[in-house]
Amino acid sequence: MRTSLLIDGDLVDGGAGGFDTINPATEEVLGQVADGDVDDMDRAIAAARTAFDDTDWSRDTALRVHCLRQLRDALVDEIEHLRSITVAEVGAPVALTYGGQLQMPVDGLGYIADLAESYEWTTDLGMAAPFGKPTRRTVVREPCGVVGAVTPWNFPHQINFAKLGPALAAGNTVVLKPAPDTPWCAAEIGRIIKDRTDFPAGVVNIVTSSDHRIGAQLTEDPRVDLVSFTGSTATGRVVMAAASQTVKKVFLELGGKSAYIVLDDADLPAACAAAAAGVAMHAGQGCAFTTRLLVPRAHYDEAVATASAAMSGIGCGDPADPGTLCGPLISSRQRDRVEGYLTLAIAEGGWFGCGGGRPAGRDRGFYIEPTVIGGLTNEARVAREEIFGPVLVVLAHDGDADAVRLANDSPYGLSGAVVGADQNRVDWVAARLRTGTVNVNGGVWYAADAPFGGYKQSGIGREMGLAGFEEYLETKLLAKGVQ
């Protein structure tokens, strides 16, 4: 298969030719992708600008709702094709494609269409007489304009649709620049939009590219009104600085180093097993995964042993196998990065409860064994920096307040978890975590109507839910003089 760019309603080749997309479980070339260049991105931005400025798209809510439902239905119709691409290109365990890796984000388009349909676009503030002038005031919510969306490879459908859905529902036009590692997941959405929906030309543009600069172009172009970026905190800083030149609205979903807190009255074995599974999943390539396990100091050794037994039991395997939880990492570059952190863990005085390198007997695929690191404090770099691999660092705490202190002692603030028997203590801890989401005694925060995002260096703004929709709106006040 060879995929195309979607620009101004046409499926076209890339100016820079083509590039390969790779299966990370086998290292084989899956096929080709159109390689967008500077001119392609320029035309995509121009098309989005024209579709916003010169058509009724931004004012026609019924058309937008219709198109989003059509897209959802067409995606459902092609779900098995999309599933096979997602497993092959992302290395996503197939079991996860029935949830956050595919099905739930597709279903989320239905949620966002319903939300746009029922949304109160105007609010009557009533009469007032500022400076003695009788005035009727109305607040109007309007789309921002052209949205530049830049996304990573780890949960491509979740992140692409969490931007496309609300941005389009709100009446914006979009240029999507997906990650070079997972271009098919986005390009196939472009084909489906072109072939199976009534989205007007230029409303959605998708530019795959092997060159990160093509993403940067979106952040610099004055015709783009808002940049919605998900990726690493390092790139997020660059995006924010670039967007400042034209004072764009910037929405950032960045990295994390979230804590899983086990209080001293919790079921320790069950908590450690749950924490291990949460980090082994998709080889740890989740921004909100709880990669620091904070356990009572008196039970530290038992916790490391239990988490290690759970991690070893999970192992890693072929993502196409329905029993696999931990597949490969996305690329050799990412595996090198994770191996660098494993070397660093030992250099910092840590030790492996299990794992610590590549699995024996697998000479193809970018695999790393699920790994538990013990013997370190929260000052260690492997406890502070995002590894983005199946690596759990176990740390000791000295009670509830100390656990809160350690959890919050991080540059990040994306997510967290706390488990314990005494609900009052659990609630006390949860209320003090400086993170955008908290799993409280096993609750699940991921849903189409639930806002998701980070405090501190994990980001700015919220994705999903009503808050995620309103990120893509401007507020206008109409003040009508009354005689």
Which residues of this chain interact with ligand NAD, rule CB under 6 A?
A: 150-154, 159, 177, 179-180, 212, 215-216, 219, 230-232, 235, 238-239, 253-256, 287, 386, 388, 414, 454, 458-459
Which DSSP letter does residue 373 get?
E
Nearer to ligand NAD, 66 or 456 (CB): 456
Burial of residue 372, with CB atoms counted within 10 A of its CB: 0-12 exposed, 13-18 middle, 19 or more buried: buried
Catalytic residue (choose from 89, 253, 386, 463): 253
> Which residues have CB under 8 Å from 61's CB, separation 6+?
116, 117, 121, 171
154/306 with CB nearer ligand NAD: 154
Instruction: State in angstroms the smallest separation of the CB of 360 from ligand NAD.
Output: 28
CB 333, min distance to ligand NAD, A: 9
Nearer to ligand NAD, 103 or 160 (CB): 160
Task: Give least dist CB 249 to ligand NAD, A.
Answer: 15
Nearest to 367 by CA among 386, 387, 389, 395: 389
Instruction: Let me know: does 203 contact 173? Beta carbons within 8 Å.
Output: yes
Least distance from C-beta 388 to ligand NAD, angstroms?
A: 5
184 and 89 Cβ atoms separated by less than 8 Å: yes
Compute, in degrees rounded to 10, the torsion defined by CA atoms 325, 328, 329, 335. 130
Which of 72, 282 has the CB closer to ligand NAD?
A: 282
Separation between Cα atoms, residue 88 and residue 332, nearest integer Å: 16
Contact between 32 and 19 (Cβ < 8 Å): yes
- Closest by alpha carbon to 403, among 303, 302, 293, 256? 293
Between residues 165 and 459, which has the closer beta carbon with respect to ligand NAD?
A: 459
Annotation marks residue 78 as catalytic: no
Residue type, 333: R
Q: Would you give the DSSP letter of residue 358?
A: P
Shortest distance, position 98 Cβ to ligand NAD, whole Å:
19
Residue among 68, 241, 251, 288 nearest 144 (CA)? 251
**What residues are labeled active site?**
253
